Amino acid sequence: MLAGIITSKTRVKLFTRFFLNPDARAYLRELAAEFGSSTNGIREELQQLVRSNLLKCEKQGRQLFYRANEKHPLFPELRSMVEKSLGMHQILESILTRLGDLELAYLIDDYAEGRDSGIIDLLLVGNINDYHLTDLSRKTERYIDRKIRTLVFSREEFEQMAPRLMDRPNLLIWKKDNEKEPAAKPATHES
């Protein structure tokens, strides 16, 4: 979807990287290695996005770190576009309506860091209907052209595993309204 609107493949990757998880940050060489591109092309795109105030640049030591500017007026729309292009809305809608008693849903690993690796890892907490999960995952994968992997835990299992699980890159994407906070606060891992 974004590639049809934005002609620069590098810019699409940067939008995905920074606007899916706005707490994520990265530096130039890290992005070049991740995208398999030269630093020159990425540097130009980063500079344009900083000049337009869509990204913020922070110096730490000798490194320049980039992150999304959440105060930019277009931030909510850009984030929504990235989520839609990755199919996050379809995934959430499917999960919430048919999976059973879902308490928490986390996006983990690559996508939690804003990396479009083609495999969406979800951590689901609650009493989940396995049949519907498998069926929905398969159907949603075809629709969004990405693989979905799920980790499902009961509340008790999650409470036990939370310290190790929350050490991984993660992004809380849904929480049942009447739920108390998870045992371990979601860690926002920076790249």
Question: pLDDT value at position 5?
Answer: 44
14-28, 52-66, 80-94: least confidently modelled range: 80-94
Question: What is the C-alpha to C-alpha distance for residues 139 and 145, in angstroms, rounded to an integer?
Answer: 10
pTM of the shown model: 0.59
Domain residues of the chain, as ranges?
A: 2-79, 87-175
How many Cβ atoms from other residues are within 10 Å of residue 27's Cβ? 17
DSSP state, 168?
A: S
pLDDT in tens, 138-160: 877 877 778 989 999 999 999 99
CATH number for the 87-175 domain, one of 3.30.460.10, 3.40.50.2020, 3.60.20.10, 3.40.640.10?
3.30.460.10
Mean predicted lDDT score pLDDT of the chain: 81
Pairing outcome for strands 119-128 and 147-153: parallel
Query: Residue 146 corresponds to which tokens in the numbers above?
Result: 């990405």
CATH classification code of 2-79: 1.10.10.10
Question: What is the C-alpha to C-alpha distance for residues 122 and 32, in angstroms, rounded to an integer?
Answer: 26
Burial of 84 (0-12, 13-18, 19+ CB in 10 A): middle
